[in-house]
Amino acid sequence: MGIRFIEKYNVFKLDSKDTSYIISIVDEEKFLGHVYFGKKVIDEDINYLMRINEPPYVPSKNNRDRVSFYDSFPFEYSTHGIGDFRESSIRVIDKNGHSEVKLEYKSHEIYKGKKELNGLPATFGDENECTSLEITCEDMYLNLQVVLVYTTFENLDVITRSVKVKNLSEDKINLTKVLSTCIDFDYIDYDMISLHGSWARERHVQRKKIGYGKQVVSTIRGESSHQDNPFIALLDSKATDDYGNVYGFNFVYSGNFFAQIEGCQFNTTRVVMGINPEDFNWLLNKDEEFIAPEVVMVYSNEGIGKMTRTFHDLYRNNLIRGEYKDKKRPILINNWEATYFDFNTEKLLSIAKEASKLGIEMLVMDDGWFGKRNADNSSLGDWFVNEDKISGGLNNLVDEVNKLGMEFGIWVEPEMISGDSELFRKHPDWCIKIPGREPALCREQYVLDLSRKEILDYIYDSIKKVLSSANITYVKWDMNRQLTDLGSLGLKSENQGELLHRYVLAVYDMMDRLTKDFPHILLENCSGGGARFDPGMLYYSPQIWCSDDTDAIERLKIQEGTSMVYPLSAIGAHVSDCPNHTVGRTTPFETRGYVALAGTFGYELDVTRIPEEDRDMIPEQIEMYHKYNDLVRSGDYYRIQNFSENNSFDAWSVVSKDKSEVLVTCVQVFERANYHSRRIKLKGLIEEKFYKNEETGEIISGGALMTAGINLTNLHGDFKGKLIHLKLA
């Protein structure tokens, strides 16, 4: 386990639980070659995999074909301009305007544990959990140092990578591209999974066959985006949820990213991931260092399901932090879909009164409580309470809510400024824009230039004032537009290409301050629904609002895609009213509860106005949440049937870590005429032990439940849901 340098073969061997990852220093020219990534092997020398003894031979044996060699060699970190015409990972512009980078191995260091990535979110682990390797390479011509950083996790099939680049020369160097991982795989017979979407339909699973050429998943929107999530998987074309090799790549970053799978001429496949080089140009002065964010790489030899469970374990234990890391979250009721902007103290208290009687534990006041905000066209930046609406002030409202035995949470959107705001009238130059051009509005708002410290400090202090003014225990941090008109008055022309990354760093800085100043606050990220559902955000907030689409049926696809990588404990999910505000669909209240149970669980409706029979069901749902949430938060998640594939029916389960208990959730989207009951096969149980069905009393072995299955009876009609709870008999 861990990481070893095997001097005899010039090999770095990185072993995690069932995974090996091997890097080799090719003697003669000191390139780093990628040897292997996959199921654990015991070998120390499998350098033959790099094919340096085949034509086109390694240059020291045949310099005549140096370019052909470069263009086929499995580089551990590909560089621009040398003759490797596949995707490069690093490119510069040096003082002479040249862009080539050529790296040679210099030294390395292996140590227990994992270092933080200065100012960036990253997975963490102590000396018993991880081992790290830093391989220092240099471009001797540029005097540029490139350190490849790896960590293996002992008990998980996880290897992380990041890159540090330092300018050791006297001259300025512009980094125009610096990706965080690059891996060459043999063969080309792979599929690719990505999570694609749009507003209200985030992270739908897309699986397709890869071919020759480049298939890209990326964003240039300044946020990780509704459209493409910073996740891709490369998998055997025959891999299923339960079988086959799967390699998952997830970027711990919340801004522009670039992920690409490239089918190459000699039937190899190159995977790269990192900050999108578009709109990126980072100036490195003498002795300055740039740190590229981390990519988490998960290998599974047991299909997509095991990859998912590995990501969940890693993120629950080694990424998410804070008081709520392993804790049940309070059941909240959010007033957004209940009132939109039309609320006041009285209205909120009427919701809270009814909600508290039903067992709901927290009231969250959404958008519209500050400045003069009665619609989405004003007041962002004016972070003081609108006393016309919140009569008696915030403290009074919070006190009243607390008196009902409920906690209080609040919505903020710190990164934005409305044209119609006191802040904008005072500081029209505080937004991101290009001098002389009219910046584009989006939801009638501009983006604050947080790369300027005085603006960041001002905004953070105004939010801090609000959070300190009352007993607030939850914050929903929203972000409702993409970044355009990229210009900053705080940056010199030679640094303008740094704006997007500096913006992301500033957001992280602000979140870091907030979580340190208010450790008791439960932070939920949000971006117009789920445009920032990424591991970078999870480092600061244990949960993220998944989508503005709260329809239980739409959520099946959204939550299936989201949970492919991110744990259920992180998925913001609420029961809302019907007809659903986004799609106009009416589903049973019960089913809405089952779907929200596979996330954080809460309500987003006017509890004083919903049908009585729905309201009457809330105490039962709350009991259900309290009964199952520990299991849902901490158990192993299995996909059983996917509505996205069969267009009729969905089922998933969560199995406790000790396999003593399983909760199965089924949603019959469309009823079928004249069939027997559906039968599903469970997963992850102990074959030779018996489980008791809590509802029917039946006692069935894990083996039978998994290989023969269980019948889903009493499901009649569209949109009907069902829970099955089994425990060791």
- The catalytic residue positions are 478, 548
Q: Where are the alpha helices (DSSP H) in 608-725?
A: 612-634, 643-646, 702-707
Q: Residue 443 annotated as binding?
A: yes
The enclosing H or E element of 511 equals: helix 499-517
Q: Given the complex with ligand DGJ, which of 123 and 386 has the nearer CB atom?
A: 386
Q: Nearest-5° angle of CA 504, CA 505, CA 511?
A: 90
Q: What is the spatial distance between Cα 470 and Cα 123, in angstroms, rounded to a whole number?
A: 33
Q: Given the complex with ligand DGJ, which of 366 and 661 has the nearer CB atom?
A: 366
Q: Given the complex with ligand DGJ, which of 280 and 336 has the nearer CB atom?
A: 336
Q: Residue 367 annotated as binding?
A: yes
Q: Given the complex with ligand DGJ, which of 73 and 601 has the nearer CB atom?
A: 601
Q: Given the complex with ligand DGJ, which of 480 and 482 has the nearer CB atom?
A: 480
Whole-number Cα distances in Å, 658 to 308, 634, 654, 713: 18, 11, 12, 28
Helix (H, G, I), strand (E, B) or coil at 68: helix
The enclosing H or E element of 273 equals: strand 268-275
Question: Shortest approach of ligand DGJ to residue 467 CB, angstroms?
Answer: 17
Question: Shortest approach of ligand DGJ to residue 680 CB, angstroms?
Answer: 33
Q: Which residues pair with 262 in a beta bridge?
A: 214, 270
Cβ pair 721, 668 in contact under 8 A: yes
Number of other residues whose CB lies within 10 A of the CB of residue 725: 17
Q: Residue 479 annotated as binding?
A: yes
Q: Residue 477 annotated as binding?
A: yes
Q: Residue 480 annotated as binding?
A: yes
Question: Shortest approach of ligand DGJ to residue 367 CB, angstroms?
Answer: 3
Question: Shortest approach of ligand DGJ to residue 340 CB, angstroms?
Answer: 8
Cβ pair 413, 385 in contact under 8 A: no
Question: Looking at beta carbons, which pairs linking 396-403 to residues 24 or more positions away fall under 8 Å?
Answer: 396/345, 397/345, 397/348, 397/349, 397/365, 397/470, 398/470, 398/471, 398/472, 399/470, 399/471, 400/345, 400/349, 400/352, 401/348, 401/349, 401/352, 401/363, 402/471
Q: What is the spatial distance between Cα 82 and Cα 93, in angstroms, rounded to a whole number?
A: 14
Q: Where are the alpha helices (DSSP H) in 678-727?
A: 702-707
Cβ pair 567, 559 in contact under 8 A: no
Q: Residue 199 annotated as binding?
A: yes
Q: Residue 161 annotated as binding?
A: no
Q: What is the spatial distance between Cα 705 and Cα 690, in angstroms, rounded to a whole number?
A: 9
Q: Residue 431 annotated as binding?
A: no
Cβ pair 197, 173 in contact under 8 A: no
Helix (H, G, I), strand (E, B) or coil at 36: strand
Q: Given the complex with ligand DGJ, which of 313 and 366 has the nearer CB atom?
A: 366
Q: Given the complex with ligand DGJ, which of 137 and 605 has the nearer CB atom?
A: 605
Whole-number Cα distances in Å, 295 to 180, 210, 286, 299: 6, 21, 27, 13
Q: Given the complex with ligand DGJ, which of 102 and 532 has the nearer CB atom?
A: 532
Question: Shortest approach of ligand DGJ to residue 411 CB, angstroms?
Answer: 6
Question: Shortest approach of ligand DGJ to residue 354 CB, angstroms?
Answer: 21
Name the phi and psi angles at 672, rounded to 5.
-115, 145
Q: What is the spatial distance between Cα 462 and Cα 189, in angstroms, rounded to a whole number?
A: 54
Whole-number Cα distances in Å, 449 to 5, 223, 502, 693: 45, 14, 10, 57
Cβ pair 231, 195 in contact under 8 A: yes
Question: Shortest approach of ligand DGJ to residue 585 CB, angstroms?
Answer: 19
Question: Shortest approach of ligand DGJ to residue 532 CB, angstroms?
Answer: 10
Q: Given the complex with ligand DGJ, which of 129 and 366 has the nearer CB atom?
A: 366
Helix (H, G, I), strand (E, B) or coil at 689: coil
Instruction: Give the orientation angle of helix 612-634 with respect to helix 589-597, to 10 degrees.
Output: 20
Question: Shortest approach of ligand DGJ to residue 238 CB, angstroms?
Answer: 39
Cβ pair 50, 86 in contact under 8 A: no
Q: How many DSSP H helices and E strands does the chain contain? A: 14, 38
Q: Residue 334 annotated as binding?
A: no
Q: Which residue is nearest to ligand DGJ (CB)?
A: 367
Beta-strand ranges (E) seen in 351-418 are 362-365, 407-412, 416-418
Question: Shortest approach of ligand DGJ to residue 595 CB, angstroms?
Answer: 17
Closest CA to 417 of 377, 451, 452: 377
Name the phi and psi angles at 286, rounded to 5.
-50, 130
Q: Given the complex with ligand DGJ, which of 365 and 423 has the nearer CB atom?
A: 365
Binding site for ligand DGJ (CB under 6 A): 336, 366-367, 411, 478, 480, 526, 528-529, 545, 548
Q: Given the complex with ligand DGJ, which of 281 and 480 has the nearer CB atom?
A: 480
Cβ pair 159, 151 in contact under 8 A: yes
Question: Shortest approach of ligand DGJ to residue 165 CB, angstroms?
Answer: 36
Cβ pair 296, 249 in contact under 8 A: yes
Binding-site residue set for substrate: 199, 366-367, 443, 476-480, 526, 548
Residues tagged in the binding site annotation: 199, 366-367, 443, 476-480, 526, 548
